[in-house]
Amino acid sequence: MKKLYVVLLIIILTPVAVYAWNDCPYGLLNDPFPGSCSRYVDTNQDGICDHSQSPSSASTNTTSDLNTDNTSIHESNESVSDIQKLNIVPTENYYMVPLIISTLILYLVTYLLFLENYLSRRNYLRIWKYVLITSFIVTGVTGMILIIFINYGIESSWNLTINFWHVEFAIIMAVTTLFHFHLHWKQFKNVFKI
Amino acid sequence: MTYDLITISLPLIAAYLGSYFLYQKNYIKRSTHIRLWNILILLTFLISVGPGLTLLCLVEYGIALPISQSLLYWHVQFGIALFWITIFHMHSYWKSSPSETGQKTKKQDAVNNEKNRRDDG
């Protein structure tokens, strides 16, 4: 039964890996191995991210790359990828605005409860401290995993999932950090006092 | 493109240990040690989160700018620094806030209650 749960969890968490061409969200063209972000995918083994090249240029590269050795890949690794001239790229939804608004509403509710004495200052501070620590841990750990994946050229179907949760928790962390400044405003101002 | 995970992490850890050693041996005040790392965390937070949020907005609205790759690069580089400095920050403040450890809680709650009673009255 446990195994069934684990399999179900993996199916739910693993996104459908759709490897598309010429749809880099950063607008990069011919991004060399190991890529600038965690989306790097190279189905035709030409040392260039599929998202940053069109299928036609990829097929041309494949035929030409058949005659080249690994040194050309290492050379292309050091070069910086071009930026797409087009300004419009496919959108991706990270729920930025709903997340910011929800976190803000929750903060205001707890602030109101604190002001109305339904919540002690200790618990009020504690709640937001734990939210900040949790969001930092998830953001930090997923970020580190992504850096290791990029640096060592590790491709997996988990890259997009990890990237998604990195962004989601980073949004919460950024907003909660602003609340952290509000909660510790006196100490915050003292940092810059000489 | 690869990111400087080790070359950023090791000097930062060494610098924090150095600063902590100086504070422990009373060469510098605790406030100096804390203030130094608070300024650094604020700077790395702003430099890492700024490009991160800019990139997020661009990706959400499907816009690619010529500076997108530079933004991503500096977001990651300063993100590595932010990761370590945040751990140092948590270490510095671990159980140091009186309001969170409960030392002043009752007093503060009483003051709050009194204030609210006056407002209601």
Predicted local distance difference test score (pLDDT) of residue A162:
92
Partner residue facing B64 (CB), from A26, A81, A150? A26
Q: How many residues does chain B have?
A: 121
Query: Is A88 an interface residue toward B (CB < 8 Å)?
Result: yes
pLDDT tens per residue, range B10-38:
999 999 999 999 999 999 999 899 999 99
**Token pair belonging to B114:** 């009194």
Q: What is the pLDDT of residue A19?
A: 45
Is residue B82 within 8 A of residue B45, CB to CB? The reply is yes
- Kind and range of the H or E element at A9? helix A2-13
Query: Which residues on chain B are in Cβ contact (under 8 Å) with A35?
Result: 1
Confirm or reject contact between B5 and chain A (CB < 8 A). yes
Distance from CA of B25 to the nearest CA of A (A): 22
Angle, vertex CA A139, rays to CA B58 and CA B43, nearest 5: 75
Per the CB < 8 A criterion, the answer to whether A191 and B42 are in contact is: yes
Q: Which two tokens stand for residue A161?
A: 């999932």
Write down the ipTM of this complex: 0.79
Q: Cα-Cα-Cα-Cα dihedral of A96, A126, A186, A179, to 10°? A: 10
Residue in chain A nearest B114 by alpha carbon: A117
A150 touching chain B per CB within 8 A: yes
Question: Is B69 in contact with A36 (Cβ distance < 8 A)?
Answer: yes
Q: Of B2, B52, B99, which is closest to A34 when you measure between CB atoms?
A: B2
Average pLDDT over residues B113-118: 56
Give the predicted TM-score (pTM) of the model.
0.70
- The two tokens of residue A63 are 């035929």
Confidence of residue A7 (pLDDT cuts 50, 70, 90): low
Per-residue pLDDT tens over the stretch B74-107: 999 999 999 999 999 999 988 665 555 444 445 5
Tokens coding B21: 């050693």
Q: What is the pLDDT of residues A24-34, one digit of tens each?
A: 777 777 777 77
Per DSSP, B120 falls in state: H
User: Is A147's pLDDT higher than 90?
Assistant: yes
Q: Say if residue A159's pLDDT is above 60.
A: yes
Residues of A in Cβ contact (< 8 Å) with B45: 177
Question: Is residue A76 pLDDT above 50, yes or no?
Answer: no
